Amino acid sequence: MSLIADRYRLAETIGSGGMSNVYAAEDTLLGRTVAIKMLKLDMARDQGFRERFRREAQNSARLNHPNIVSVFDTGETLVSDVSVPFIVMELIQGRTVRDIVRNDGPLHYQDAARLLEPVCHALQASHDAGIIHRDIKPANIMVTPTGAVKVMDFGIARALDDSTSAMTQTSAVIGTAQYLSPEQARGKNADARSDVYALGCVLYEVLTGRVPFEGETPFAVAYQHVQEDAEAPSSRMNTSDLSPTEAVNIDAVTLTAMAKHPADRYQSAAELGEDLARLGRGAVTQAARSHVHPTTHSTSHPATMTAPAVASGSAATAATMAAGPAAAAPAPYPESNPAPRSSGGKRRKVEEDNRVVKILAAVLAGVVLLAGGLFAWDFFTNPSTSPDKQAQPQQASVTVPDVARKPANDAERQLEALGLTVEREDAPSPDIAAGQAISTNPSAGSSMPKGATIRLVVSTGKELTDVPDLTGLSPQDAGKALEEAGLRLSSRVEEEHSDSIPAGSITGQNPPKGSRIAKGTEVSVTVSSGPQTARIPSLDNMSWQEAQATLSSLGFRPSPEYVDSTEEKDRVLAVGGAGDQAPVGSEIIVRVSNGMLMTMPDISRSTPEQAVSKLRQAGWKGDQSSLRAGDAVATPSLIDNGLIGGSQPAAGQTIRKDATITYNPWVFDLGALAPKPGR
């Protein structure tokens, strides 16, 4: 299983989760290191887990943001006769926020705000795409060595447009208990504000080093998320390092994000991000401006800080935080005179609330008994009035309000407050954001009896479509294919070299093929620029070793071709295609001298022994038998007798160093002096 999809070579395991393993791998096609998440084999045998993993791949592939781990490819591979799905992602080096807090301790509040602000940007992009993360926690936030923040693991993310699927029709609580929103703990529908709550819990932990709620079991923790108020984070911090204004700022932002009801929280990740930006630079946050309501301070009656919703028009349900004794009279905003805090104040408030509840219960019981007695007295003292003679009360009716474009949870709560039973129905909408109400049936303005059922139509965002496979197509053909699918081709086209895909054809796309995304979304592509090329250099006067090193450094495969030459051995004679552009990886033929040619010296008037010496000096490598005596040549000179008169090859010719040489010796002959007949 070292090579999957004929492309990815698996290396070491770098992570393991409940249902998948993560490997470092090499993309052999593009020559880059990636991370591959593969469903565990025992999980892959279960259709439900395979579907959940496939959904993770689709959700992740729909997201393209610098603070979200990028997905390059998806697919399946056969392992032990089981089809195992996998996701190819960018490989991130760094530490998780969980590791940072565990190893380094709580962060300064400004550092914490700057750290989590990019997470808000990532979540807003996710929510805009119709996806709720549902599992925001410190272990899913990575910080690279350069300080970049990446949100990862959309493993249990549920697309807003998938709420009608069988997998989401369950009350099972999904997510890590320490960061679970109250609505998720109740098994209710989660929306974007559920992620805001989870990030508020993460902020709490980064500031204090502790989670807001602790318990022996996940259910005990989930119960506290629903029923208990978290202690103010500033009460768990080193208050000697905080000014009262800073403490109020910290508490306001954190507790607003962690408000029990979604309507009382920041209404988007972007809103939380804006306040984190203010907190990071030490400015007054919007939460602090809106939420601090000073009361009359005394040592026996603690002040409270209430946290209504930031968004205008939201319900102002108070998430109270007990504060300690005041130092002075109340002020419009606590920069000049902040509301102090005390853990004892919170206990006293709970005790007072319990006494109030008991008193109200007793009063209510008395009212019920009194009403019952009056009814009985009236019934028996007026015998002429019997039940069958009394007029039947007219059933109360309500007018259906206009809830269009409101968050679905808010719309549902508004309708239920009128005594109506709400049934949700999901539908795509081209202009209403996912998770917001589109309409009701009966429509707004209609009259309905209390207790009747009303259908609330909730937007799943734009209509979804499958991303076609664009690999191998030209950008023009890809544009047509995307248009048919209701998508658009991005004007931003990247290029990369490819040895297997011709220049001008598409090598990759984002989102990947098979992803389901909103119609009208842009799809970006990467186009092949053909194989990578380099100029073949001229290697004149180089040795073969030097030429080999030069060509290899350019990505070529040098191959020598030895030829006869008078140049010294291993001297480069010529390079095939020198000056031309050639694909990197090409074989380049280099003509190299074998040093086997020499110039025939003049050996005339030499003895055979002298001739051998002259030949050796010229580079001749033949043995004694390769120097042969040919036909004698008559000479009238007695002095030349026995010397060499000529040779084949003749002097000046180019010969091989191992060539056979024939010489013609002179022989003295007086007859050579006699004139020839006819002369």
CA distance 533 to 665: 62
3-state DSSP percent of the chain in helix, strand and coil, to 5: 30, 25, 45
Residue 23 near residue 77, CB atoms below 8 Å: no
CA distance 129 to 122: 11
Residue 280 near residue 117, CB atoms below 8 Å: yes
Catalytic (active site) residue 426: no
Q: How many CB atoms lie within 10 A of CB 401?
A: 15
3-state secondary structure of 132: strand
CA distance 153 to 133: 8
71-79 and 82-90: which strand pairing? antiparallel
3-state secondary structure of 494: strand
CA distance 259 to 268: 13
82-90 and 32-39: which strand pairing? antiparallel
What residues does 528 pair with on adjacent strands? 496
Residue 72 near residue 34, CB atoms below 8 Å: yes
Contacts of 312 (CB under 8 A, 6+ apart): none
Measured CA distances, 324 to 88, 295, 676 (Å): 53, 12, 145
Give the residue carrying structure tokens 């008559």: 634
- CA geometry: angle 63, 65, 66, nearest 5 deg: 145
3-state secondary structure of 212: coil
Say which of 73, 135, 153, 229 is annotated catalytic: 135
3-state secondary structure of 657: coil
Cβ-in-10-Å burial (0-12, 13-18, 19+) of 366 comes to: exposed
447-449 and 464-466: which strand pairing? unpaired
488-496 and 522-528: which strand pairing? parallel
Q: Is 37 annotated as a binding residue?
A: yes
Residue 47 near residue 54, CB atoms below 8 Å: no
Give the residue carrying structure tokens 């191959």: 559
Residue 138 near residue 98, CB atoms below 8 Å: yes
Cβ-in-10-Å burial (0-12, 13-18, 19+) of 670 comes to: exposed
- The residues annotated with a catalytic role in the active site are 135
* Residues in binding site: 37
* Residues in binding site for ATP: 37
